Amino acid sequence: KGGNHNSETRKKKVCLLSATVPTRGSCCNFIHSVEFQLQHFISKMRRRTEAQASNNEPVNADRKDPDQRLHSQAAAEGRVSYSSVLMIVGKCLLLIIFIPPFLNYASLQREGQMLFPKDGQIVDVGLGQKMHLLCKGQGRPVVILDAPAGMSSDVWLHVQESVATLTKVCTYDRMGLGFSKRLMQNETTGTEKVWGMSTTGRMVDDLHRLLQAAEIAKPFILVGSELGTLNGRFYSHIHDVQVSDLVLIDPIPEDVFEDDQWKEYWYGKLLPSLQTRQFSAATGLSRMLIILGVIEPTIKGENVSEEVIQRQKYLLSNPAHQSSAVDEHYFLNESAAQVRDITQFKPLSSRTSVSVITGDSFDQQIPEHLNQMVAKLQKTFLEESYPSANHVHIKGADRRMIYNKPSAISQHLRKLVNQRQAKQQSE
């Protein structure tokens, strides 16, 4: 029995890593159908070639020299052979074009059910939308974590587990990311008339309905990273009584897209690379590259479970997730403009404390002059918008700190939770 169990476990892993189709019969039928049609086409072309060769021969062909007849037959066979080679090449190209996307789609259907987080839940937030919410721990105040642009809730793995020993901590997938399915283009909710798709205004509206539907206790601590900081600021200014503490991890300055060099990097380099990743996922190429080890998950290490690693591979191969990631980056400029407008219209409540966590640079993988520009804009906007904010600096960190240096983030959040809990007990 132990041998059988290990065998079954290995089969499941192989199915996740490779492009195994859940219904083998459907795949075989598809391949046989393609082969049959190609063989029929080859036979038809061969008969046509032979007929043309016989028609081109003169009526007195039987009087030809035997060597000439042999030469004519060899030429006809050569044409048939060349045609056969072309047909074989065409057959291979068809298989390369159609089979990987088909296998990838079939595997995604199966993996989506197997890899859904065991503690997660799908919450109906109204307007025909459903979102994925994952909460761990018990107690108050509740901590809400909002991920960077294009990333699922898995990026908060270590932070959530650490803080959940003190209180309830919730992560969620924004619409279109992870396990939160985005509405199709022909479906409508009415909110797009106010806020565009994949912009901060729309995300905050989704988050507000999610927290209401899940009956999350208020006030809570709202934590955002990168794009999540724009969402956190927007939410805190609109629903100020619901947020006791706002934590901004590597915040994006609102004026960053007014710099031409930054726009050139964002829309000229970063966005095209994300669009390439989306195309690779749609064609099934990403799955093959993952199997070959060319593409690796973002979150990895000894403390990362196999389930989380497999879930990241699943999302890398998922064109719907990658499409939403592209949209969030594309509309980030509009999101920043929305936050600028709302902060001018409605100031933050004095009852909401603000903490800012930054590293040595915004992104260690971009040119230094861009990091210096972002740091300068960050300093200016924080002095103007949140002059009394508690500033925490993490040495050697950048915008990936939430999964590369999670202990420093967790330490600050645990301190905030302890302070709020002590205040609640004193009251």
Domain map of the chain by residue range? 2-114, 120-426
How is 146-169 classified by DSSP, letter by letter? Answer: E--TT--GGGGHHHHHHHTTTS-E
Predicted confidence at residue 220, as pLDDT, reads 97
pTM for this model (two decimals): 0.77
How is 261-317 classified by DSSP, letter by letter? Answer: HHHHHIIIIIHHHHHHHHHHHHHTHHHHHHHHTSS--SS-STTS-HHHHHHHHHHHT
> pLDDT tier at 54 (50, 70, 90 boundaries)?
low
The mean per-residue pLDDT over the stretch 307-326 comes to 94
The mean per-residue pLDDT over the stretch 95-105 comes to 74
Backbone φ and ψ of 63, nearest 5°? -90, -5
Whether the CA torsion 192, 196, 197, 200 is positive or negative: it is: negative
> pLDDT tier at 42 (50, 70, 90 boundaries)?
low
* pLDDT over threshold 50, residue 12: no
How is 181-228 classified by DSSP, letter by letter? Answer: PPPPTT---SGGGTS-TTSHHHHHHHHHHHHHHTT--SSEEEEEETHH
The mean per-residue pLDDT over the stretch 378-399 comes to 89
CATH of domain 120-426: 3.40.50.1820
> pLDDT tier at 32 (50, 70, 90 boundaries)?
low
Between 355 and 297, where is the model more confident?
Answer: 355
Provide the mean pLDDT of the chain.
82
> pLDDT tier at 227 (50, 70, 90 boundaries)?
very high
Q: Are strands 220-225 and 169-172 parallel, antiparallel or unpaired?
A: unpaired
The mean per-residue pLDDT over the stretch 299-306 comes to 82
End-to-end alpha-carbon separation of the chain, Å? 59
Other Cβ atoms less than 10 A from the Cβ of 94: the count is 14
Q: What is the dihedral of CA 9, 11, 17, 19, to 10 degrees?
A: -150
Predicted confidence at residue 73, as pLDDT, reads 53
User: Quick one: what percent of the chain has pLDDT higher than 90?
Assistant: 49
Do 329 and 149 contact (CB within 8 A), yes or no? yes
User: Quick one: what percent of the chain has pLDDT higher than 70?
Assistant: 76
* pLDDT over threshold 60, residue 20: no
Between 303 and 200, where is the model more confident?
Answer: 200
Q: Which amino acid is at 371?
A: N
Q: CA–CA separation, 259 vs 89, rounded Å? A: 50
* pLDDT over threshold 90, residue 331: yes
| CA-wise closest residue to 246 among 407, 334, 357 | 357
* pLDDT over threshold 60, residue 79: no
* pLDDT over threshold 60, residue 256: yes
Rounded (5°) CA angle 184-188-189: 120
Q: What is the dihedral of CA 102, 107, 113, 115, to 10 degrees?
A: -140
* pLDDT over threshold 70, residue 228: yes
Predicted confidence at residue 22, as pLDDT, reads 42
Q: CA–CA separation, 225 vs 134, rounded Å? A: 17
Predicted confidence at residue 65, as pLDDT, reads 53
* pLDDT over threshold 90, residue 353: yes
Between 314 and 49, where is the model more confident?
Answer: 314
Do 223 and 144 contact (CB within 8 A), yes or no? yes
The mean per-residue pLDDT over the stretch 189-218 comes to 83
Predicted confidence at residue 71, as pLDDT, reads 52
* pLDDT over threshold 60, residue 100: yes
Q: CA–CA separation, 8 vs 6, rounded Å? A: 5
